[in-house]
Amino acid sequence: MPSGTGFEDAAVRGWDFPRAVAGVTLLVEHAREHGVPDRVTLDGSGLAAGDLASATEVTAAQELRVVRNLRARLGEVGPDVGRRYRAATFGALGYALLASRTVHKAMNVALRFLDLSHTFAIPQAELDGDRVHVVVDGAGLPADVRRFLVERDAAAIRAVLVELAGVAVSGRDDGTSRVLSFDVAELDRPLTHAGPSSLAACEAACRDVVERRRELPGFAGQVRVLVTQRLPSGAPMGAVAGALGVSERTLRRRLAADGTSYQQLLDEVRGSMAEELIGTGRLSVEEVGLRLGYAEATSFIAAHRRWTGETPGARARRRDAT
């Protein structure tokens, strides 16, 4: 992004990163409303309709599969899907946008935590005299879905700008990109839900998620997402390898090249989710174990002691006492 624009540079350069399941959920909802069954929309993605309620993340490849299925049935409906977006669709990022003091601050938050958006066409913001241009660039996207993704992402950005502050946005096509423009004075428009303390908390939540995602970029990051989706069934290596279109041997080799292993990733995902589920205080040890793919509570208790040095029950009691 040109220097001196007053906008913070986006942290993400490419589109192949894990993303929240909400983007796929919107695609499925749009398809369902137009008579396309969920099984058709999700065909080949490795996802079932029930997964959308329990999964938190999907891979870029999974969302692209759903986009291709939707486009095959309904055509170029990217703008229609994009108009369904609201700030809250983006979870912690959306709440950080809402809590920002001005449109300018909200745009900087969005660029800092672009990993948490559902965008494939990575946007860039530029100042040109008395106009702000948001360039939604699709040059690096797969050709068959480029138009759909650029139009969806541009429509989503416009929808959120209107929601945040009623910004009057114009748009134009520019080859493989869409350019959204509005008056520079809109940058200083105050947002009605602004709150410094709320923004700080939301930004901290965004940082936690982004840091975790960036710890394992590329192939290992995709494996972790697929493991998380398949935990209730034990996340067998063969199922994850099949979803990635590789053999188990290739899966092991590529993870080793990334400095990790399948068992290490599985333990990390289970340990992280165990901490979260135990912390809610709403589930028994047996229920937590089942969600993590353990058929017996004793196996989960032994694993938890190996990860943390204490049993799940002891962990819960210590948390309650603090």
* pLDDT 10s digits, 244-282: 889 999 999 999 998 899 999 999 888 888 887 777 777
Secondary structure of 125-155 as H, E, C letters: EEEECCEEEEEEECCCCCHHHHHHHHHHHHH
pLDDT digits 0-9 by tens, 153-167: 999 999 999 999 999
Contact indicator for 94, 87 with CB cutoff of 8 Å = yes
Mean pLDDT in residue range 24-41: 97
Q: Phi and psi for 111 in degrees, rounded to 5?
A: -70, -35
Q: What is the mean pLDDT of the chain?
A: 88
pLDDT digits 0-9 by tens, 229-239: 888 888 999 99
CA 130 to each of CA 102, 159, 171: distance values in angstroms, whole numbers, following the listed order: 17, 22, 16
For residue 6, what pLDDT is reported?
72
d(CA 65, CA 51): 15
Cα 161 to chain centroid, rounded: 20
Radius of gyration of the chain (CA): 21
Contact indicator for 30, 70 with CB cutoff of 8 Å = yes
Domains and their CATH numbers in the chain: 19-196 (3.90.1520), 216-321 (1.10.10.60)
Tell me whether strands 123-128 and 131-137 are parallel, antiparallel or unpaired.
antiparallel
Mean pLDDT in residue range 53-69: 91
Mean pLDDT in residue range 47-62: 88
Q: Is the pLDDT of residue 144 over 80?
A: yes
The residues facing 19 across adjacent strands are: 58
For residue 4, what pLDDT is reported?
43
CA 300 to each of CA 126, 266, 291, 307, 312: distance values in angstroms, whole numbers, following the listed order: 52, 13, 10, 10, 9
More confident residue, 269 or 43: 43
